[in-house]
Chain A
Amino acid sequence: MGEVLVITSGKGGVGKTTTTANIGTCLAMMGHRVVLVDADIGLRNLDVVMGLENRIVYDLVDVAHGRCRLRQALVRDRRFEGLFLLPAAQTKDKTAVTPEQMRELCQELKKNNDYVLVDCPAGIEQGFRNAIAGADRAIVVTTPEVASVRDADRIIGLLEASELRDISLVINRIRPKMVKKGDMLDVEDVIEHLAIELLGIVPEDELIIISTNKGEPAVLNSHSKAGEAYRNISKRILGEDVPFMNLDESPGFMSRMKRLLGFRTG
């Protein structure tokens, strides 16, 4: 019996889909059976980010309405054996499925897979309610911006109200230089405000844009800082104890010289 995780945020554009794609790919890379469910009906993106857009035949709404079997709708990833995508419908909207149907669907998917990741749409309306219906755990994604943190707070409140207690936080798109100058909320500020467990921190990374456009999740790129962060997050989901990433820029020429000369650089 697997586990259903919903990735949610309230605010749009903070990186829910990117986070879903990367964690899912990484878990599959480590040998687990993973299904990614795109719950953003009408505005599907996960298929594009995964590079599986042109393989879609059936979608989530077809399954919910019994127009096809669940197995027919699952799109197998071209890179990993155990990775599947259940795409959203693009021509319907959020009211096309009900929370009960989603709950059933998640139950069904849990039986044969280790992890079911549900990519939640932005907002707190029916799309959100559908996405969290079958979830065992929630991952709330936020960026270090006041508006995003505020929405995350609202979402956490709603998750708690619907009896979902296992909630952890991913802080996305941190810019270490801005934090250092005091122009951006730092990790401690966000944690103190939201008061939930931190699952991971992901630095801003231009490679993410390239990778989402190409349909190649960043975890597959060993040079990507964000990819490394998502690999750490995936390990933490599996229960490993991984220290948080040091976000300071690589040491400059002078500090390297000092280190070579035997000075302590702290």
Chain B
Amino acid sequence: MRELVRFKGNRDGLTVILDPEADFQDVLEELEKKLEAAGNFLEGAAVSVDLGSRDLQPGQLSALEKAFLSKNMRLRRVMAGPSGARGVASLLEGSVSVPEKAPSPGVGDGFWEDTDKDIPVIQYRLPAHRHREDLISQEQTILIQRTVRSGQRIFYPGNVVVLGDVNPGAEIIAGGNIIVMGTFRGLAHAGAFGDENAVVAAIRLEPSQLRIAGYITRAPEGDFSSSQQPEIARVQDGIVIIEKYQPGFDRYSRGQGKGGS
């Protein structure tokens, strides 16, 4: 079944895809519901909206903008397929603009972000339908091949794999799982859309705060010696547990007397 509103992450950040055929009011309600469900972790994000072939009517664009603003999010740009763009463009007084300089992959730094208030409309020509279907899967994974530093925020609706460290002050937020081939000292939020089966694994797992779906835990106060081995965090019986990572860990055999031994 097609969803009315879908979230997709790519190198430009977060894109919200609206079903082009459904009634706008239904789509808007669904969007508000989804934003509500996401809680405040999307706060401050700049989003793109993909309209597909939809023609926006006067007032609808500002309704979308308002929905995002109520969550402190910013509508960064509007993308539309061949037939849609003209409609939107006319709403914005004929200002079809070209994409701005692409930000660095997957990193929401916020620092160099332009504070331009105009919302550019980008028209794509790809066989739009197929192109977007491919990108949607929640099972998608992004690979970050560097150290994620303080102040940097990685948001991705699928899985996130980091080849490097995640330092204190950095945030990794994933719709799926988070795996760090290095030391994790920042903030992790796995299963950000509510998936309680999501896990966080790292060679050294020392996060300042760890969230899985709606559960929040933090590092114990004071000095504690972390175990010198790879660990994995997941939700079990309503609490977040951290245990030794065991190769071959299978989430479906959970609760059958394994885990730590």
Contact = CB atoms under 8 A, between A and B. Distances in A.
A160 B149 CA distance: 10
A158 B151 contact: yes
B231 to A, nearest CB: 18
Contacts of A161: 104, 107, 109, 111-112
Nearest to B182: A195
Interface string A43-71: 00000000000000000000000000000
Contacts of B150: 150-151, 153-154, 157
Interface in B144-193: 146-152, 164-165, 167-169
B149 A154 contact: yes
Contacts of A195: 147, 164-165
Interface residues of B, number: 17
B167 A153 contact: yes
Contacts of A150: 150, 167-169
Contacts, number: 38
Contacts of B151: 154, 157-158
B104 to A, nearest CB: 6
Residue of A157, A160, A162 with highest tally of chain B CB at under 10 A: A157
Interface string A194-221: 0100000000000000000000000000
A156 B152 CA distance: 11
B209 to A, nearest CB: 15
A29 interface: no
Contact of B149 (A124, A156, A162): A156
Nearest to B151: A154
Nearest to A163: B104
Contacts of B167: 150, 153, 193
A150 B111 CA distance: 17
A94 to B, nearest CB: 15
Nearest to A124: B111
A150 B152 CA distance: 12
Contacts of B148: 157
Contact of A153 (B111, B112, B169): B169
Interface in B107-163: 107, 109, 111-112, 146-152
Interface in A144-192: 150-151, 153-154, 156-158, 160-162
Nearest to B167: A153
Interface string B235-253: 0000000000000000000
A157 B146 CA distance: 10
Contacts of A154: 149-151, 169
Contacts of A193: 165, 167
Contacts of B112: 161-162
A87 B62 CA distance: 50
Given A150-B150, A195-B147, A157 B165 contact: no
A157 B186 CA distance: 14
A129 B185 CA distance: 27
B185 to A, nearest CB: 8
Nearest to A158: B111
A187 to B, nearest CB: 17
B102 to A, nearest CB: 13
A157 B168 contact: no
A162 B109 CA distance: 11
A220 B150 CA distance: 37
Contacts of A160: 146, 149
A83 to B, nearest CB: 34
Interface string B81-125: 000000000000000000000001001010110000000000000
Contacts of B109: 157-158, 161
Interface in A109-163: 124, 150-151, 153-154, 156-158, 160-162
A93 to B, nearest CB: 20
A182 to B, nearest CB: 11
A160 B148 CA distance: 11
Contacts of A151: 150
A168 B109 CA distance: 22
27 contacts: A124-B111, A150-B167, A150-B168, A150-B169, A151-B150, A153-B149, A153-B167, A154-B149, A154-B151, A154-B169, A156-B149, A157-B109, A157-B148, A157-B150, A157-B151, A157-B152, A158-B109, A158-B111, A158-B151, A160-B146, A160-B149, A161-B104, A161-B109, A161-B111, A161-B112, A195-B147, A195-B164
Closest 3 CB pairs of A and B: A157-B149, A154-B150, A153-B150
Given A153-B167, A157-B149, A158-B111, 8 more contacts: A124-B111, A150-B169, A151-B150, A153-B150, A154-B149, A154-B169, A156-B149, A161-B112
